Amino acid sequence: MTVASTAAGGVMKSRFGTVKGVLFDIDDTLVDLEYSMTTALREVSEHLLPGLDQAGWERFGRIFTHETTHYYDQYLAGELTFNEQRLLRGRAALGHFGIELADGEESHQWLTAYIQKQPSYVKPFPDVLPLLDVLDRAGIPYGAVSNNVHDYQRAKLDGAGLDRVTHLVGTDTLGVAKPNPAIYLEGVRLLGTEASQTLYIGDNLLLDAEGSTSAGLLGVWLNRTAETAADFSGTAVSTLDELVPLFE
């Protein structure tokens, strides 16, 4: 992507038109959730799978983070609690390698250990702080809109050193989740901008780039892992570094 921009009093002229605010997805956009999950998963599961090699642990992590997201959808639909979906995903990953977690104490211990460990591994991606720095310098307000509940995400951002992201919309803010247009528009309202002048940046093609664009924002797909998407005709970047020139 090549962009030319001029900064003037918190208003950016760019290939997007005028940009007066920026909203981010959180998980795997601002913070490396996958790293925190897979690191904690291995730590709390290693005693159950003592002989598993590196490729096995990568497979284990992938089942939890990518192949069992239907349980997260059930959580969003109110059919499971957040921790129930975590346990089901863990059981699926363990089950793939022939380990059955017993109901009751064994499951409780595994889940409790994971809940304790995982937050300590949450950290921002290296390209996040440089972009927030240029936004601060340019006087561009920013915030986050996430498909998890506000207080959990607030603690996650703060724990990752991102307390400067003060504007935050969660699924319990209005009682709707992405891609419902209302959740992106609540973020716009908090920034005090117009949807058509607000970037929305996230790693999920459907929920972030396309959902925000449908709500009238300037959607940007953050494709960190070089996924292919033949039908996608919107704006994509591979790193947040590509957005920095917009605001310098």
Binding site for Mg ion (CB under 5 A): 25, 27-28, 203
Q: How far is the CB of 94 from Mg ion (least distance, A)?
A: 25
Instruction: Return all residues near 95 (Cβ < 8 A) that are at least 6 apart.
Output: none
Please report how close the Cβ of residue 71 comes to Mg ion at its closest, in angstroms.
Answer: 16
Residues 154 and 161 sit within 8 Å (Cβ to Cβ): no
Kind plus residue range of the DSSP H or E element containing 56: helix 54-62
- Report the distance separating Cα 130 and Cα 132, nearest Å: 6
* Separation between Cα atoms, residue 156 and residue 152, nearest integer Å: 6
Q: Tell me the helix, strand and coil percentages in the chain, rounded to 5.
A: 50, 15, 35
CB of 191 to Mg ion, least distance (A): 19
Q: Which is nearer to Mg ion, 28 or 210 (CB)?
A: 28
| Residue closer to Mg ion (CB basis): 32 or 203 | 203
What minimum distance in Å lies between the beta carbon of 26 and Mg ion?
7
Of 25 and 242, CB closest to Mg ion: 25
- Compare residues 89 and 91 and give the one whose CB is closer to Mg ion: 89
Query: Strand 167-169 vs strand 21-24: parallel, antiparallel, or unpaired?
Result: unpaired
